[in-house]
Amino acid sequence: MAHRLTLLTLLGLSGSLVALSSPHETFSTSPFRARAIVPRDGDAANPPLLVNISKLPKTVEVNLTAAVTTLSLQPGIKSEVFAYNGHVPGPTLDVREGDHVIIHFRNNLPEPTTVHWHGIHLPVESDGSPFQPIAPGETHDYAFSVRPGTAGTYWYHPHPDRRTGFAIGKGLFGGIVVHAADDPLASIPEKLLILSDNR
C-alpha cells in the first residue's frame, strides 16, 4: 500500500480514484473510499480538442479562455468551477513535432492567472510562470515551436503565484498530445484519459 500511495503522490494523482465501468460503481482502496465519476453526456476518455483556426501548414493556432462556470461533475450536483473553454478537464492541445503553436489566451477569471505548458521546452516568455501574471479581463498570446524528439503526453495548467494548487483544484487543467513528426503508429486510435479528484 505504501508503494501505491507513493506512486500516486509522485504522479500528482493522490486521492484520484476513477472507474470507467459504471457511473454508480463503488470500490474501496482502504483507507480511501471513492465513488466513480464518469460524465453521462460524453466519453470519459478524449476531452474535446482545441480547434485549430490557422490555415497555415505546420501551424496550430487556438483560442483558450479561463472563466468561472457551473458544471455537473457528478449527476445531480452542480459545482462552480474554473474552466478552460467551459470544460473540466480543458480541451486537449493536439500538436505535432515541428509545429509552430500560437495560443490566444483570455483571462475571464476574477483573479490573475497564467497558463503553464508542463514539460514542454519553450521560450521563457511563453512558459506561463508565476512572474508573468495575466490580470482579469486581459489577454496574452503564447507562442512556441514544438521541438523534434518531444513526442508524448503532457498537460497544461495555471501557475499563478501561490494559487496553483487552488486553481488546478477548481478545474484548470488540460492535456497536451505531441505526435511524432514521422509516427509509425499514427493509424492506431488513441484515447486520452485525465484523472482528477474534482467534485
**Which is more confident, 175 or 15?**
175
**Which is more confident, 28 or 49?**
49
Q: Is the dihedral of CA 79, 160, 126, 122 positive or negative?
A: negative
Are 121 and 150 spatial neighbours (Cβ–Cβ below 8 Å)? yes
Are 88 and 71 spatial neighbours (Cβ–Cβ below 8 Å)? yes
User: Going by DSSP bridges, is the β-strand pair 32-35/116-118 parallel, antiparallel, or unpaired?
Assistant: unpaired
pLDDT of 11 strictly over 50: no
Q: Which of 94, 109, 199 is nearest to 151 (CA)?
A: 94
Taking only the tens place, the pLDDT of each residue in 114-127 is 999 999 988 888 88
Indicate the pTM of the whole model: 0.78
Dihedral (C-alpha) 169, 174, 178, 179: value to the nearest 10 degrees? 130
Domains and CATH numbers, the chain: 1-38 (no CATH), 39-179 (2.60.40.420)
pLDDT band at 98; cut points 50, 70, 90: very high
What pLDDT does 197 receive? 73
Backbone φ and ψ of 168, nearest 5°: -65, -45
Q: What is the DSSP letter of 14?
A: T
